[in-house]
Every structure is written in C-alpha cells, then in structure tokens.
Amino acid sequence: MFAPRTSFRIPLPAGRFLDLGERTLVMGILNVSPDSFAETSTARDVDAFVAHALQMQADGADIIDLGGESTRPGAELVSADVERDRVMPVVEALAGRLRILLSIDTSKAAVASAALSAGAAMVNDVSGLHRDPELSHVVAGAGAALVLMHGRGTPKTMNAEAVYDDLMADIAGELRESVRLATAGGVPIERIIVDPGVGFAKRPSHSYGVLARLPELAAALARPILVGPSRKSFMREAVGGRPASERDWGTAAAVTAAVLGGAHIVRVHAPAAMVQVVRVAEEIRRHHR
C-alpha cells in the first residue's frame, strides 16, 4: 500500500512549473454552480466565492479548482455561455490576489479559453476530452496543464455505464485514449495529469477498488495521478447514510489511502482539515521501511 511516487515537473504558462512528487498536493474545490452535490452554502455572490478561495489558500491548499457546472449524477449539463457567466467574474476577481495555482474545472473549450486568458493555469476536464475536442487546442495554445479524468457518458447516463471487465486495466486503457487525444491536439505529454474518476461511472465497489489499486494506474500510464474522493456517494453506506456535507471523516480515510497509494494531488472540499490528513499520511509514508 505504501506505493512509490515518481516526481514530475509540469510546465505552466509564463515559464512557471508545478512540481509533483515530493509530497501530495491539496486541491481545494470552489463550486460556483447553484446545484453542487456536496455543499450547503447558499451564498452566490462573487465576494463570497473569492473569500472562500482565499480562505482555502490560507488553510494550506496548493491549488484552487473552480467549476461552474455540476457533475453530480443526474445533473443537467449547461451551455458554455451559462458556465462562463458563472466562473469568469470569480476568475477575474481572483487575479492578482491568489498566490497559488488556479485550475478551471470545465469540459468546454470556450470556458477554458476565457479562464486561461484571465489567469488560470490548469484545465481539469472530467470528460477526458470526449465532449469538446477543441479543448486540447485551447490548452496547448495557452501552455497550460491538463487533468484528464476517467468517466463514461454524461451525469445522467454514467451510472448505467459502470460495467468493467478488468477495473484498472479498463480505466488505464480509456485514460490512455484520452492522453492520445490530448497529445494529438498539441498538448505535450509532460503537461498531462490523469484522474481515475472515483465516483464517476463507478459503483461503490469500483471506487474502493480504484483507491486500493492506485499503483497499478501509475505503472500503466507513467503520469502524475490526481484523486478526487471528497464527500462522494460511494462512501454513503460506510458512513451510515450521512449526507454529502457530513462525509469529511470518510473523505479523510479515502484521502489517506490515496496518499499512501502514491497520489500526487487530492481534490477536496475542506482543505483546512484535509491538509492535516495529508501531512500525517505523508509522515507515515516517510517512516515506512
């Protein structure tokens, strides 16, 4: 379970780099969609979102991942115009105030282009480039990093597609195709991060299997790994049916497994708590012989 973690240097715009491998980085989730599955806040104004992002930075997050479209099971996809109108005021308000990396969580080239032009340095695509092929060209042109997540279908159809012959081999093969699409679109391989998509087109047993077998993915793809288990429904039964907003203890267990399994980045809703979890898990890794 104490898997080795290869080091990578990910090039970013403006000659910057994201160094991965020395420790697991914490990516804080900033949802500006009105139907997030995991948060109960009703605050919708830009100032509140900016304050949340700055607080996550103060709490020790290394990256902020800003998204304007819900990807919860059953969610309706929105247009690029709607998504852009949600995220861009926040991106622009954070410009010059955020010391850490800003990632834009989108599958749409138009949204990514606007956010990257305004200061974002990474695109997190939950579709693995299967919704908007133009996205790879936008990322390539901006010199940004790209996260490719494994999933199938849309939020409305993904649960029906959670059928695997060999879980990790199938995920690795499908992510390999996403990497191929990215490089064919001009994104250099050294800018690509992969995400096995815990909770996306996966039954609970699949999500637990991914967390238990992360080293297999690292070995198959030789790319840095991002894991996003935060508050997801795969842990619902294990935590006694608690709603998403009360699953941080379960998330802590999943984050620990990800760190021990060699994850380079964990994506979470509560960085203040999860930074502590990651640091302790890192100490356990450091003392393993």
Tell whether 2 is covered by a domain: no
CATH code, domain with 86: 3.20.20.20
- CA–CA–CA angle 121, 29, 27 (5° rounding): 60
Q: Number of folded domains in the chain?
A: 1
Residue 1 covered by a domain: no
Report the distance separating Cα 171 and Cα 221, nearest Å. 10
Any domain includes 262: yes
Catalytic residues, by residue number, are 232, 267
What is residue 39's predicted lDDT score, i.e. its pLDDT? 52
Q: Is residue 3 part of a domain?
A: no
- Please state the length of the chain: 289
Model pLDDT, residue 40: 43
> What is the extent of the structural domain holding 46?
8-286
In a domain, 137, yes or no: yes
Q: How many CA atoms lie within 13 A of 211 on its CB side?
A: 24
Per-residue pLDDT of the chain (289 residues; tens, 9 = 90+): 588 899 999 999 999 999 999 999 999 999 998 865 455 444 569 999 999 999 999 999 999 999 999 877 776 789 999 999 999 999 999 999 999 999 999 999 999 999 999 999 999 999 999 999 999 999 999 999 999 999 998 888 888 999 999 999 999 999 999 999 999 999 999 999 999 999 999 999 999 999 999 999 999 999 999 999 999 999 999 999 999 999 999 999 999 999 999 999 999 999 999 999 999 999 999 998 6
Whole-angstrom distance, CA of residue 194 vs CA of residue 218:
9
Tokens of 114: 């606007």
Is 220 inside a domain boundary? yes
Q: Are the beta carbons of 18 and 10 closer than 8 angstroms?
A: yes
Residue 158 within a domain: yes
Three-state DSSP at 149 gives strand
DSSP state letters, 19-57: EESSS-EEEEEEE-STT-SS------SHHHHHHHHHHHH
C-alpha span between 99 and 191 (Å, rounded): 20
Separation between Cα atoms, residue 259 and residue 278, nearest integer Å: 7
With residue 236 as reference, give the H or E element that holds it.
Answer: none
